[in-house]
Amino acid sequence: MTTARGPLLLGVRHHGPGSARAVRAALDAGAPRVVLIEGPPEADPLLALAADRAMRPPVALLAHAVDDPGRAVFWPLAAFSPEWVALRWALDHGVPARFIDLPAAHSLAAGPAPDGPGDDGGPDPLAALAAAAGHDSPETWWEDAVEHRGPGTGSGGPFAPFDAVAEAMSALREEYGDGGSARDRVREAHMRLQLRSARKEFAEHGDAAVAVVCGAWHVPALRERTTLAADRALLKGLPKVRTDITWVPWTHRRLARRSGYGAGIDAPGWYGHLFDAPDRPVERWLTKVAGLLREEDHPVSPAHVIEAVRLAEALAALRGRPLAGLAETMDAVRAVLCEGSDVPVGLIKERLVVGDVLGEVPDTAPAVPLQRDLTRLQRSLRLKPQAGERELDLDLRKEGDAAKSALLHRLRLLGVGWGEPAEGRTGTGTFREGWRLRWEPELAVRVAEAGVWGTTVLAAATARAESLARSAVTLAEVTALAESCLPAALPDALPVVMRALADRAALDTDVGRLARALPALARAARYGDVRTGTGAKTGSGTGTAALAEVAAGLAERVCVGLPPACAGLDADGAAEMRGHLDRAHTAIGLLTGGQDRAGEAAGLRGRWEGVLHRLAERDTVSGGIRGRAVRLLLDDGRLDRDRAAVLMGLALSPGVPPPEAAAWMEGFLGGAPGGGLILVHDERLLGLVDAWLTGVAPGAFTDVLPLLRRTFSAYEPGVRRALGERVRRGPGGAGGPAGHGPGAPGFGPGLDEGRADAVMPLLTLILDRTHDLAEVTG
C-alpha cells in the first residue's frame, strides 16, 4: 500500500468528485499529521479562512502583481475539488495544511502558463488512459473508472485507487518522457523540496504522517529520487515580483472554462451533484430536473421520473457502463421529460448541468481598499453580486435607484463591467434606466487594477475621468467622456473634462467630426439633470449649463461648415454626410427644445433652418442630401407641402439622371420616421413618385432598382400594402387631390364633427395628465 512506501501521495483529478471522496476516505484512514496541497505557498496565511462560516465555495485564490494588478492568476476550488476537501479535512482535524506549488511570485514573473498555473503538463493523461482502455471519450472513461465508484470500492481499501492512478501515470511518463515543460520541472522540484522539509519536520511520526494532494500527473515526479542540490539548481535565479493574494468568489459557469486548476469540466453542476449525492445519484438528479421543469410550467409527473430512471439505466447497460452518467441521464430527460424537444434541455443544461452558483468569501479576507468600498456600497444599496444575468430597472427619481445608477456608471468608467445598459429599456431623457447585471470572477482583477485611481469608487472614478480627459486625443473621446460623467455623478471631474472639451472643439475643423460629437453633448446637456437626479453643478459653475454652451458653440460651427462640406461629394461621401446631417438635426432639436434662454434657442433654430433650406435647393449638393433636407424641413413644419411637391417635381424631372433622382428619393423617403406614410397620406407626392418610376427607361431602371428596393423594403408591411392599394386605384381614385374622397379607405368626404366631438373628452384627459406629469418632472 501507499502507506508502506512513504508519504501518502494522493494523485487526483482537479475538480473530480470521485477523487474528492477518495481523498477524504484516504485521509480518514491514514490520519496524517500534515497535509500538503498543490497551490501557491503565499496563500498559507489565508487557509484558516476556509473554516469560516461565511466561506462558501466555489471560491478561488487570486494572486496579482502589486505593481501591475492586471497580471493575475486564479486557483479556483469547488466544494467537490479534492484540494478543497483536503484543506477542510486538515482544518476540521486540527492538522496543519500547506501549499507546496511554485510560489505565485515566480509564476507571475514568468508570465501565465498556456492553461493556468495548475494545469497538468505533457500529454492529456485521461485521453491516453481512455484510449488504452478502449474508450473514445476521456470524460466517459474517467466517470466509469473513478467518479461512479465509491471510495474503497474493490480490493485494497481506500489507498488502492491512488496506487492504481500512480502506476498509470508512471507508465505514461515513461512512454512520453517526463512529458512536461521546463515550468513543470521547476514546479515539481519545488514540490519535492517542500515534501522533504515536511518529512524532516514530522520524521518522528514516520513518513505516513505526511499526505500530499496533487495532480495525478505529478505523483511519479514526487516519488523520483533526486538530490537536494539538483532541485535547488532548478529553482535558482527564477524571476520574482511582489505579489498580493486573497480569496475571491468563483462561479460554476467560470469553473467550466479551462483555467487555473485546468480540468475544464463541462458540467460542474453535475459534478457537484455526484459529490453531494453518492447514493442513488441518477434518481436524485432526475428528481431535481423534474422540479426545475415544473417551476417553468412544464408538465412532469412522478411517472415521468420513474420512466426516465428506467431508460437511463437501460442505456447505461447497453453502453456497458457501471452507472448511468450525464450522457445517459440527459438522453432520458430529452426523450421522456422533454418529449424530444431541445428547448427545455437547454434550460436544464444552463441551470443544472452548469449552474449559476456564486461563492462567497468572508469580510475578513484581505482586499484592496477600493474593493472594500465597493462591497460597502453593494450592501448599503442592496445590490448583491450574482453569477446569473439579471435585469435591473431603475426609477431615477428615487434616491436609492439614482445611487445605484451612479455606482454602475462609475464602475463602467473604471473598466469594471458589472452592469451593461439594457438596449431598448433605457429611455433617453426619461426617469427610467435599465441594466443587465452579471458578476464574473475576473471583475475582482478589474477592481484591483482600478485601485490605483483611488481608495473609494467615487474618488477612483473621478481621478480616472480626469486622466482620460487630459489624455484624450479626439473630440469624440472627450464628448463621450462628458456624457459619462453626468450619469456617474462626478461633479469634481466636470471642470477638467469641460476644459478638455473646449480645447478639442476649438482645434477641430472637420465638420464630420463636429457632427459626430454633437449628439453626445446635446444628450448630456438636455438630460443630464434628469438622469443624475442632481443639478450637476459644481462650485466652479460647470455642469449641464456649461455643457450646453459648448454644445451650442459646436452647433454654430456645424451650421457654418456643413453647406460647403456637402458640395461635390461622391455617392459614399454623400451617404456619410447624410448621416451627419441627421445627427446634427437631432442634436440641435435637443439643444433648442425646452431651454430657458428662448432667444438663443430661436436663433440657433433659425440658423439651422436656413442651412436646411440652402441644402434643399442647391443643385451642387448630392440628391440624397437635398432629399433629406426637404424631408427634415417638411416634418418640422418649416416647409409646406406645395413647396415640397415643387422640389420633388424638380428632382424627379426627366432631365435629371435616374441615379441622382433615385438618390433624392432615398434621402426623402428612406430612414426617416414614418418614411412611407407621407406617400400614403399625400397623393400628390405619391403621384410624382409613380410618374417618375413609370417614366424611367428600362436600361436605367436596372441601375436604380437596388437603391429603390433598399428604400421601400424598409417600410412596414402595412405601409407597403397601403401604397400598393393607392397605386392600384390610380390618380383621383381617392376622390380628390388630397386623397380624402369617398373611395379612400378610412377617409370620409369631410370632417364628421359629431365623431370628432366624441373624442374630445378623452383627448383632454390625456393632455391634462401629460401636462401634470411635465410639471412634476420639470
Domain annotation covers residue 713: no
Domain annotation covers residue 211: yes
Domain annotation covers residue 715: no
**Mean pLDDT of the 259-280 span:** 75
Domain annotation covers residue 296: yes
Per-residue pLDDT at 735 exceeds 70: no
Higher pLDDT, 397 or 125: 397
> Tell me, what's the pLDDT at 155?
53
> Tell me, what's the pLDDT at 259?
44
Q: Is the dihedral of CA 145, 148, 152, 154 positive or negative?
A: negative
Same domain, 437 and 318: no
pLDDT band at 541 (very low <50, low <70, confident <90, very high): very low
Domain annotation covers residue 192: yes
Same domain, 481 and 568: yes
Same domain, 438 and 488: no
Per-residue pLDDT at 119 exceeds 60: no
Instruction: Calculate what percentage of the chain has a pLDDT beyond 70.
Output: 84
**Mean pLDDT of the 465-480 span:** 85
> Tell me, what's the pLDDT at 774?
43
Same domain, 36 and 137: yes
Cβ pair 169, 121 in contact under 8 A: no
pLDDT band at 776 (very low <50, low <70, confident <90, very high): very low
Same domain, 135 and 217: yes
Round to whole Å and give the CA distance between 67 and 529: 39
pLDDT band at 766 (very low <50, low <70, confident <90, very high): confident
> Tell me, what's the pLDDT at 595?
46
Cβ pair 566, 625 in contact under 8 A: yes
**Mean pLDDT of the 720-741 span:** 60
**Among 88-92, 136-140, 143-147, 772-776, the least confident range:** 772-776
> Tell me, what's the pLDDT at 538?
34
Alpha carbon separation from 693 to 665, 698, 727 (Å, rounded): 11, 10, 12
Same domain, 183 and 312: no
pLDDT, tens digit, for every residue of 54-100?
Answer: 999 999 999 988 888 878 888 999 999 999 999 999 999 999 999 99
Higher pLDDT, 96 or 760: 96
Round to whole Å and give the CA distance between 734 and 741: 5
Backbone phi, psi, residue 464, to 5°: -65, -45
Per-residue pLDDT at 134 exceeds 80: no
Per-residue pLDDT at 428 exceeds 90: no
Burial label for 764, CB within 10 Å (0-12, 13-18, 19+), is exposed
Same domain, 14 and 157: yes
Same domain, 292 and 389: no
Same domain, 247 and 293: no
Picking from 639, 666, 682, the residue at the C-terminal end of a domain is: 639
> Tell me, what's the pLDDT at 650?
83
**Mean pLDDT of the 518-543 span:** 54
Domain annotation covers residue 481: yes
Per-residue pLDDT at 738 exceeds 80: no
Domain annotation covers residue 659: no
Same domain, 408 and 528: no
Cβ pair 138, 8 in contact under 8 A: no
Please state the separation of Cα 434 from the chain's center in Å: 15
Q: What is this structure's pTM?
A: 0.68
pLDDT, tens digit, for every residue of 368-390?
Answer: 889 999 999 999 999 988 888 88
**Mean pLDDT of the 292-317 span:** 93
Higher pLDDT, 730 or 533: 730
Alpha carbon separation from 477 to 66, 367, 400, 483, 587 (Å, rounded): 30, 32, 30, 10, 17
pLDDT, tens digit, for every residue of 565-601?
Answer: 888 888 888 888 888 888 888 888 888 865 444 555 6
Instruction: Calculate what percentage of the chain has a pLDDT beyond 90.
Output: 30
pLDDT, tens digit, for every residue of 680-719?
Answer: 777 777 777 777 777 777 777 777 777 777 777 767 777 7
Alpha carbon separation from 141 to 3, 4, 136 (Å, rounded): 27, 29, 8
- DSSP 8-state secondary structure symbol assigned to residue 630: H
Round to whole Å and give the CA distance between 721 and 679: 12
| Best CA proximity match to 221, nearest among 120, 114, 293, 84 | 120
Our count of domains for the chain comes to 4
Residues listed for the chain: 778
How many distinct helices (H) and strands (E) make up the chain?
34, 10
Same domain, 403 and 533: no
**Among 120-124, 532-536, 669-673, the least confident range:** 532-536
Picking from 622, 639, 656, the residue at the C-terminal end of a domain is: 639
**Mean pLDDT of the 724-733 span:** 68
> Tell me, what's the pLDDT at 664?
81
**Among 400-409, 498-507, 632-641, 726-735, the least confident range:** 726-735
pLDDT, tens digit, for every residue of 143-194?
Answer: 777 766 655 455 568 888 888 888 888 888 887 766 567 888 999 999 999 9
Picking from 239, 264, 289, the residue at the C-terminal end of a domain is: 264
Round to whole Å and give the CA distance between 713 and 716: 8
Q: Could you write out the DSSP letters of every residue in 666-702? A: HHHHSSSTTTTHHHHH-HHHHHHHHHHHHHS-HHHHH
Same domain, 107 and 248: yes
**Mean pLDDT of the 545-549 span:** 73
Alpha carbon separation from 302 to 299, 331, 335 (Å, rounded): 10, 18, 15
How does the average pLDDT of the chain come out, rounded?
81
Domain annotation covers residue 684: no
Domain extent for 169:
2-264
pLDDT, tens digit, for every residue of 30-50?
Answer: 999 999 999 999 999 999 999
> Tell me, what's the pLDDT at 303?
94
| Best CA proximity match to 169, nearest among 109, 208, 215 | 215
Instruction: Write out 50-65 in H/E/C secondary structure.
Output: HHCCCCECCEEEEEEE
Q: Is 539 helix (H, G, I), strand (E, B) or coil?
A: coil
pLDDT, tens digit, for every residue of 593-626?
Answer: 654 445 556 688 888 889 898 988 888 888 888 8
